[in-house]
């Protein structure tokens, strides 16, 4: 009986001791948590989340403007302001770049991806991986929320391969138009029902001919019309059509070149540089035709004080030479021009040749000369 009482008392004492120890431990933990909150060291739970499935667009046809929606979630208890969403390449554009996401809220961001090999700087093959990253820069006064980066990826399927990758018409005289047609070969990785080809320039026509009964090869003929003088920066739009008549995203083939006035001057302008007021400076200019037409100078006039010109050869010939004489009449930068009137194919045409100089006083010229000498001496010392 005494032993039973002794055992029961022992169990009671042990239970009381365990309870006291547990209460003491809980008290210590409570004190630590209170101290962390007071000192501001409690970790913030605010964070941005993009779920993995929203970062992988899977398989997509090659497209220069592939659209993708990216939902961004704020899983924390505080508002988060994103100062900027920074793309890793020019193949990715983001809208909007700046946004605020409330606590436990979500905002959608629209992505436009250029999946072409040229913009993603990847070899052009039928299948290739695409990857681009987005860096979210968080406003600095948002506590304990670091910048975060996400990677958008997927597999790109290219339907066609084009050769050449750029149609370059070169530098051509306006008098040589219409230009020689250019050829483009298009090979398809998948059987096509057809290929729609057109130019965004009304004066350039495209003829398309299938060169394979399986719909795997096409030949394009680029037919330039009478193009305006100046640089050529156009595009040929190629739209593959599948067997079920589904139109795939268009591929854009650059068309470049330059149309020049047939009559050219060499040099095209006269730059006389810094000259002392009162000096007389002479230069020569050759006038020629890109298509080797015979030219006859009918007259030379000038605009600009102290500027004159005359033909060094009086009889008509292929390349007239003009003498340019400039009297430096004023200080500072001065501009004028020679106007040469030519007879070509029974019609008058005009060529303007800009002439410029920087007028200096004798004092300025001496200062410039001394500065030049000092620079030469410094260069000799360095050597």
Domain boundary among 157, 173, 194: 157
Model pLDDT, residue 263: 92
- 142 and 57 share a domain? yes
pLDDT in tens, 184-228: 999 999 999 999 999 999 999 999 999 988 889 999 999 999 999
Are residues 306 and 349 part of one domain?
yes
The pLDDT, as a whole number, for residue 44 is: 45
Q: Is 52 a domain residue?
A: yes
Examine the domain organization and report whether 311 and 354 are in the same domain.
Answer: yes
Residue 370 included in any domain: no
Q: What is the CATH number of the domain that holds 183?
A: 2.60.40.60
What residues make up the domain containing 196? 160-260
Same structural domain, 153 and 53 = yes
- Residue 35 located in a structural domain: no
Which of residues 112, 128, 157 is at a domain's end? 157
Counted domains in the chain: 3
Residue in 324, 331, 316 with CA at minimum distance from that of residue 268: 324
Same-domain status, 149 and 192:
no
What does pLDDT average to in each consecutive run of 10 residues of the chain (383 residues)? 44 45 44 39 62 96 96 92 94 95 95 83 82 93 84 96 95 93 96 95 94 90 95 96 96 95 93 92 92 89 94 70 94 94 87 94 68 67 62
For position 336, which CATH number holds?
2.60.40.10
Token pair of 277 as six digits = 């007021």
| 242 and 310 inside one domain | no
Quote the pLDDT of residue 243.
94
Name the domain boundary from 114, 131, 157: 157
């Amino acid at each position: 009986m005494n032993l039973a009482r002794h055992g029961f008392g022992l169990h009671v004492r042990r239970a009381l001791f365990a309870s006291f120890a547990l209460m003491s431990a809980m008290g210590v933990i409570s004190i630590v948590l209170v101290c962390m909150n007071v000192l501001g060291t409690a970790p913030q739970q605010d964070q941005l989340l993009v779920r993995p499935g929203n970062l992988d667009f899977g398989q997509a046809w090659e497209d220069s403007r592939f659209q993708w929606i990216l939902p961004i979630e704020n899983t924390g208890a505080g508002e988060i302001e994103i100062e900027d969403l920074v793309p890793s390449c020019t193949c990715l554009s983001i809208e909007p770049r700046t946004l605020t996401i409330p606590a436990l809220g979500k905002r959608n961001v629209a992505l436009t991806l250029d999946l072409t090999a040229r913009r993603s700087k990847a070899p052009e093959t039928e299948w290739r991986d695409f990857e681009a990253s987005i860096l979210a820069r968080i406003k600095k006064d948002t506590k304990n929320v670091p910048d975060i980066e996400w990677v958008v990826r997927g597999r790109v399927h290219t339907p066609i391969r084009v050769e050449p990758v750029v149609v370059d018409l070169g530098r051509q005289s306006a008098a040589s138009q219409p230009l020689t047609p250019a050829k483009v070969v298009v090979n398809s990785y998948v059987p096509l029902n057809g290929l729609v080809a057109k130019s965004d320039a009304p004066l350039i026509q495209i003829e398309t001919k299938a060169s394979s009964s399986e719909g795997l090869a096409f030949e394009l003929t680029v037919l330039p019309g009478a193009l305006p003088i100046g640089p050529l920066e156009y595009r040929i739009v190629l739209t593959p059509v599948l067997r079920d008549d589904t139109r795939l995203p268009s591929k854009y083939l650059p068309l470049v070149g330059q149309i020049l006035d047939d009559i050219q001057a060499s040099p095209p302008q006269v730059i006389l540089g810094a000259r002392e007021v009162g000096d007389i400076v002479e230069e020569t200019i050759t006038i020629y035709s890109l298509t080797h037409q015979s030219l006859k100078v009918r007259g030379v006039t000038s605009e600009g004080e102290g500027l004159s010109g005359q033909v060094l050869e009086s009889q008509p010939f292929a390349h007239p030479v003009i003498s340019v004489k400039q009297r430096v009449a004023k200080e500072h930068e001065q501009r004028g021009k020679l106007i040469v009137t030519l007879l070509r194919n029974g019609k008058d045409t005009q060529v303007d040749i800009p002439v410029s100089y920087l007028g200096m006083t004798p004092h300025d010229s001496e200062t410039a000369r001394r500065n030049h000498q000092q620079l030469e001496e410094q260069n000799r010392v360095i050597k």
